[in-house]
A = this chain, B = another copy of it.
Amino acid sequence: MAPPPTSTISPIIITLVLKILMLVLLLASLVVLATDTATLSLSFYTTFVESKIHFDDVYTYRYVLASIIMGLVYSVLQTALSLYHIATGKRLIIGDGAFLVDFYGDKVISYVLATGSAAGFGATKDLKALADVTNVDDLDDYFDKAYASASLLLFAFICAAILSVFSSYALPKMVNSSSTQNPA
């Protein structure tokens, strides 16, 4: 079956949409995580103490934040490169470099987002279970927001993984692709 006539332009648009979607999801994930606070009420006999908990009181959420920021920086750069490409009709990075930057960049960033999301889900699941056992109800919303942030990060990862498949399929377009290692 012949490829559709728009096959040369549509992949650029598809990847641009994915990059923008990833950017929006990462921004949402960042806002949800950064604003995640809780007030813990502790009572020692007749004394009540209120303790404010921020997202960075859970060590894992610091890694989640770091992965979101890395993803944000990358997707802003990638979106800018795509817009430049569409506006001017040429790439800012010329030669095979563009394909390699996309290929390794998408690959590394998709791993960063996957690990950020997984670490967030894992830590939240077990800390929430522990809070439930010890009847600390004040933290329910706190952990639910952490789940929401990790979920948004998961969707951003899916965008990155699809982009990574695209940039892998683009490797044959490299000028010097015959010099690449072909296992088997």
Contact = CB atoms under 8 A, between A and B. Distances in A.
Interface stretch (A32-40, A43-51, A110-118): A110-118
A9 to B, nearest CB: 10
A24 B9 CA distance: 45
Interface residues of A, number: 50
Interface in A89-121: 91, 98, 103, 107, 110-111, 114-121
Contact of A117 (B12, B115, B184): B115
A115 B130 CA distance: 22
Interface of A: 3, 7, 11-12, 14-15, 58-60, 63, 85, 91, 98, 103, 107, 110-111, 114-123, 125-127, 129-130, 161, 164-173, 177, 179-184
